[in-house]
Amino acid sequence: MDIIRVEGGHRLHGSVHVSGAKNSALKLMAATLLAPGKTILENVPNISDVHVMGKVLKRLGATIDVVDEHSLAIDTTNVHSWEAPYELVAKMRASTAVMGPLLGRCGRAKIAMPGGCNLGARKIDMHILGLEALGVTFDTDHGYIYADATGGMRGTTVTLEFASVGATENLIMASVRAKGATVIDNAAREPEIVDLANMLNEMGAKIVGAGSPVVQIEGVDELHPVTHRVIGDRIEAGTFIVAGALQADDDGIEVNGFNANHLGMVIKKFELMGIQIDRLGGGVRVHRAERIKPVDIQTLPFPGFPTDMQAQAMVLSALAEGTSVITENIFENRFMFASELVRMGADIRIESHHAMIHGVPGFSGAQVVSPDLRGGAALVVAGLVADGRTEVSAIHHIDRGYEHFVEKLVHFGAHVERVNVPDPLDD
Ligand SMILES: CC(=O)N[C@H]1[C@@H](OP(=O)(O)OP(=O)(O)OC[C@H]2O[C@@H](n3ccc(=O)[nH]c3=O)[C@H](O)[C@@H]2O)O[C@H](CO)[C@@H](O)[C@@H]1O
Ligand SMILES: C=C(OP(=O)(O)O)C(=O)O
């Protein structure tokens, strides 16, 4: 099995360019189904989730040519299936993003029910309620959801109970092909939703208000393929910012290739913790000259503090001079990483969806298990500043969302390697 081995204590310097955003690229790939023909996506991250979405599209009849490491030519001319099978949905929940586009393109979708995951139950009831309001009928059988829009979709007002990213995206992608006007009220406002709406508008859709709580969509008869560049990954950037805050040398490190406005609340909270973050065109410079200050953080939909940065922020706060409180409001099960950080010497008490973090002077390297994508990356980052060696296993989680993570850290001067070791459970 592969693990990531980190020798802590080496200062970081230099700069790194983040990849395209996972959470944007996956939805843009799904959206190509709406525009028969060849869409070129640029700045696509080379990560395992993108490979899974590629497999989903191929099952549906698309062909994908890898133009270069970060550009895909996706030809959806011959889409002949509307089924996202269990083995792919089980690998990656974001496969459910093909539901809206399939309804728009084929009038039908058969999607394996995603089930729970390490972060919690992760229901899709809001996707279904919203699509039902557009006229889609649903049936479930043998673990599959059957969605039928062959009678046509009609625009209407959908009020989401919670600003769900996935529900907003599926509703936008279905309603671009509905008859008349759809209004999504209490829509999610994440930058990745704006990227999706921008590409759909380039394809000929009529969407206004993406990035605000009210998105209005006027249905159109057809969409055409385009060339589109995926936005930079704000969460990958945030992860490197934490690495810099912990271990950059006196000159600091630069993190480029993303829009710092997409990390507004993260930058604000980190500045309150005593981290110096200077905005540059297309990135930031990070360094720290004082001991980390404690902070209160609660995760919220954008523009609030992203849940996808919660674990990384906990690493910082675990070394603060005082007690921090982090409240997780988005996923019920996203503190699993904390018990691994405790194995490295952190002092964390979890009470329901609150974490009380009493700062300690340092971490000690340990063998830890990556519980999920961001938790795994955060453990590697903690290892950078730990005393001695940290070994992080179950790194397939990290591979889902970080391209060349080890190489980028090595480029910063970190002593990190990916090594293949025998599985201790094998004889
Ligand atoms: C691939 C992708 O883009 N993933 C992101 C997306 O996930 P995702 O789109 O799954 O996140 P949502 O915003 O939909 O989910 C937020 C919360 O709402 C709940 N919920 C959601 C839909 C629904 O129909 N019913 C329901 O109860 C979920 O269980 C969760 O507790 O947004 C999350 C919140 O910013 C990020 O952490 C994920 O990285
Ligand atoms: C939770 C995440 O992704 P997903 O929704 O794909 O599980 C994430 O990117 O941190």
Q: What is the pLDDT of residues 194-248, one digit of tens each?
A: 999 999 999 999 999 999 999 999 999 999 999 999 999 999 999 999 999 999 9
- Map residue 387 onto helix, strand or coil: strand
What pLDDT is recorded for position 230?
98
φ, ψ for residue 295, nearest 5 deg? -150, 160
Closest ligand (CA of 397) = 2
Domain ranges of the chain: 2-19+232-420, 22-229
Q: Is 75 annotated as a binding residue?
A: no
CA–CA gap between residue 235 and residue 228 (Å, rounded): 20
**Rounded distance from Cα 119 to ligand 2 centre (Å):** 9
**Residue 424: pLDDT above 90?**
no
ipTM: 0.99
For the domain 2-19+232-420, what is the CATH code?
3.65.10.10
User: Is residue 22 part of an annotated ligand binding site?
Assistant: yes
Q: Is the model's pLDDT at 127 over the cut of 80? A: yes
Residue 349 has pLDDT above 80, yes or no: yes
- Percent of the chain having pLDDT more than 70? 100
Task: Flag whether 49 is marked binding.
Answer: no
Rounded CA gap, 270 and 213, in Å?
26
Ligand 2 atom closest to the Cα of residue 92 is 6
The confidence band for 269, taking pLDDT boundaries of 50, 70 and 90, is very high
Burial of 422 (0-12, 13-18, 19+ CB in 10 A): exposed
**Residue to substitute in 234, 314, 374 for testing ligand 2 pocket (most ligand atoms within 8 angstroms of CB):** 374
Residue 169's Cβ-side half-sphere holds a number of Cα atoms within 13 Å equal to: 29
Spatial distance between the Cα atoms of 256 and 269, rounded to a whole number of angstroms: 20
Q: Token pair 């910063």 is at which residue?
A: 412
- Give the pLDDT of residue 301: 98
Q: Give the residue numbers annotated as catalytic, written as ranges.
A: 117
* Ligand 1 pocket residue status of 302, Cβ below 6 Å: no
**pTM for this predicted structure:** 0.98
> Is the shortest distance between the CB of 236 and ligand 2 below 6 Å?
no
> How does residue 122 score in pLDDT terms, banded at 50, 70 and 90?
confident
User: Which of the listed CATH numbers 2.160.10.10, 3.30.70.3280, 3.65.10.10, 3.40.50.720 matches domain 22-229?
Assistant: 3.65.10.10
Residue 164 Cα to ligand 1 middle (Å) = 5
List the strands of the sheet with 227-229, edge to edge. 63-68, 71-75, 38-42, 227-229
According to DSSP, residue 252 is labeled: E
Q: How do beta strands 283-288 and 248-256 pair? A: antiparallel
> Rounded distance, CA 288 to CA 173, Å?
43
Distance 166 CA to ligand 1 centre (A): 6
Sequence-distant (6+) residues with CB within 8 A of 281 are none
Region 307-317: mean pLDDT is 98
